[in-house]
Amino acid sequence: MAAGERIPGTPRYRHHLLKNPGTEPFLPNFLLKEWIAGSVFLLGFILWVVFNPMDVGPKANPDDTSFIPVPDWYFYFLYQILKYFPGNYEVFGTVVLPLVGALLLLFAPWLDVSKARHPYKRPLATASMVLVTFLCIWLTNEAAVQHRAEVAAEQGGGVSAGLPVLPKVPASQIHLVDTTMPGYEIFSHTCAGCHGASGEGGFGPPVYAIGKYWNEQQLYDFVIKGMGQMPPRGGLSSDAEVRKVVEWLAKQKG
């Protein structure tokens, strides 16, 4: 680390004992600098998790044969790779490619021994990093898109009466929230005849977690217009009742 990179105000610990006084000691200067950068990243990550919580899906149901299992999203790229090596070639996707990637990462310090730090002066390392990053993002997106298409095909078409597809789950596994709202009472007396008392679906599509995919305005526009077997306003007597129902539905996120 060059002397000009020293954090202002930090002591030059045993600086007079260094053979090359133009560098900074590891302790405490370099370690303090790395610790500060790591703390900022960790704080940002914690805030992201706190303000962007992941929704827990429905409980596991061994009787649901339509369920298509997938790994967590951060393993999607590995999951997608397996699709390109079917049958007898699956050993390449499960063992060979991950092993090659792990070995390249392990031996990276010996494969790239350049002292230059600027990305333009390390074309091989920079190009490899960009390529791997692009492939991970692309494979992750491909896995997500294909999984949604598979679920849509399993459910029968991708959109049920114009609504986003929700997986079929037993009513006993559905937990509706804010059931004291007026919209729930209206729903239970009218919409539940088609969509089920818990929104599990029946003659109409499931809506127990529709708020995860559509906001209140999208739901309102859809119900007001009607589609398929659902009449305009969903059979409700006024726009005010529609507004109360969709306000409650928007809170249902599964």
CATH assignment of the domain containing 240: 1.10.760.10
* 29 inside domain: yes
**143 & 178 share domain:** no
- What's the number of domains the chain is made of? 3
* 113 inside domain: yes
**120 & 180 share domain:** no
Domain end marker among 157, 183, 206: 157
**77 & 119 share domain:** yes
pLDDT digits (tens, 9 = 90+) for 30-89: 888 899 999 999 999 999 989 887 766 667 777 666 677 889 888 999 899 888 887 788
**153 & 96 share domain:** yes
Q: Tell me how far apart the terminal alpha carbons of the chain are, to the nearest angstrom.
A: 52
In the chain, % of residues over pLDDT 90: 19
Mean pLDDT of 120-134: 89
Top pLDDT among 123 and 17 is at: 123
**176 & 241 share domain:** yes
* C-alpha–C-alpha distance, residues 56 and 236, integer Å: 32
**47 & 87 share domain:** no
pLDDT digits (tens, 9 = 90+) for 86-116: 778 888 888 998 899 889 888 888 888 877 8
Q: Cβ-count burial of 254 within 10 angstroms (0-12 exposed, 13-18 middle, 19+ buried)?
A: buried
Count Cα atoms within 13 angstroms, Cβ side, for 35: 8
* C-alpha–C-alpha distance, residues 151 and 173, integer Å: 19
Q: Is the pLDDT assigned to residue 212 strictly greater than 90?
A: no
Q: Is the pLDDT assigned to residue 19 strictly greater than 70?
A: no
Strands (E), the chain: 159-160, 163-164
pLDDT of residue 159: 40
**141 & 202 share domain:** no
Domain end marker among 123, 157, 191: 157
* 167 inside domain: yes
* 97 inside domain: yes
Which range of residues forms the domain containing residue 9? 3-51
**212 & 189 share domain:** yes
* 228 inside domain: yes
* 38 inside domain: yes
* 66 inside domain: no
pLDDT digits (tens, 9 = 90+) for 146-192: 887 777 655 544 444 467 778 778 888 888 899 899 999 999 888 88
CATH of the domain at 153: 1.10.287.980
pLDDT of residue 46: 94
* 104 inside domain: yes
**85 & 153 share domain:** yes
